[in-house]
Homo-oligomer: A and B are copies of this chain.
Amino acid sequence: MDANKEVLFLHGGASTHFFQVPMNFLTKGTKAAYLDCGVWGTKAIKEAKIYGDVDVVASSKDKNYTYIPAGFHIPNDAAYFHYTTNNTIEGTQMHHIPDASVPLIADMSSDILSREMDFNKFAFIYAGAQKNIGAAGVNLVVADRSFLAKGNKGIPSMMDYTVHVENGSMLNTPPVFAIYVCMLTLRWLKKNGGIQAIESANNKKAALLYDTLDTNSIFTLPVEKKDRSLMNAVFTITDPSLEALFLKKCESESMIGIKGHRNVGGFRVSLYNALPLSSVQVITDLMNDFANQYGS
């Protein structure tokens, strides 16, 4: 990461940035460009509209957000381009960094530190801590000093990123415990080989899970193959009448919380950094057994 970057640890989750980003960077006379790839992007767009003109450059709403749009055009006169790198609810992930001639802003809440990413390509990154960084109650910001300097003036101190930089993330009493857990998590990550090692582990976990789902026709995967998330696998049972049974089998083996979000139904298995390959092995074994017993 180049020397022009500022790193902040701020109160709260990622959602504050949905309005804080346009409050700071949607400067007078400009517009903001957004990619609409799911629930989080849609929320960010809604909040940005309070502060000015928003150009939604592409959306995958037409197919219930089961893919990541490609070939979209980012206008040269936008104040910034905003996208969500990974969509937890829909199970999609952007596997490349979009080309943009305007400052790039990303909500990386659910896949930050899961893979190598060139942070230098981004003017502003934000991420809630509670997936791969630490505990809920704090969020991370990585931002270009020069981009921050161009932000709006006269906004509330607590919302002004430059004020937080001046105060070293201690403008008010920070969420000390949540930050402490981030430190422990980052040390754990470093000790275990850093991003490169965790990316390799994450790839293995996702390959095992998706291979199992693909080879058993009892499961259906709604997401386009090229856009599948390595963090959140979304699937349904091809015969919906078997869903309750599958959920029960998982619960009987202490696998809880895999029910999909009500927007998409079915199931969601999350593979965040903290989950070991052995846990994926347990659920894929169960999936194979279930397919053998109830599959056609």
Contact = CB atoms under 8 A, between A and B. Distances in A.
Q: Give the number of times this chain occurs in the complex, counting copies.
A: 2
Contact of A137 (B19, B128, B130, B175): B175
A260 interface: no
Interface string A37-56: 00000010011001000000
Given A138-B137, A173-B130, A174-B136, A159 B11 contact: no
A175 B175 contact: yes
Interface of A: 11-16, 18-19, 23, 43, 46-47, 50, 128, 130, 135-138, 154-159, 171-178, 181
A128 B173 CA distance: 9
Contact of A15 (B137, B155, B158): B158
Contacts of A159: 19
Given A137-B138, A137-B176, A156 B50 contact: yes
Q: Nearest 10 CB-CB pairs, A to B?
A: A137-B175, A19-B156, A11-B12, A15-B172, A13-B172, A137-B137, A136-B173, A136-B176, A47-B156, A177-B177
B15 A171 contact: yes
Most chain B beta carbons < 10 A, residue from A46, A154, A176: A176
B178 A19 contact: no
A158 B11 contact: no
Nearest to A13: B172
Nearest to A174: B136
A42 to B, nearest CB: 12
B12 A13 contact: no
21 contacts: A11-B137, A12-B12, A13-B172, A15-B171, A15-B172, A18-B157, A18-B158, A19-B157, A19-B159, A46-B157, A47-B156, A50-B154, A50-B155, A128-B173, A135-B176, A137-B138, A137-B174, A137-B177, A137-B178, A175-B178, A177-B181
Nearest to A175: B137
Given A136-B175, A175-B175, A158 B50 contact: no
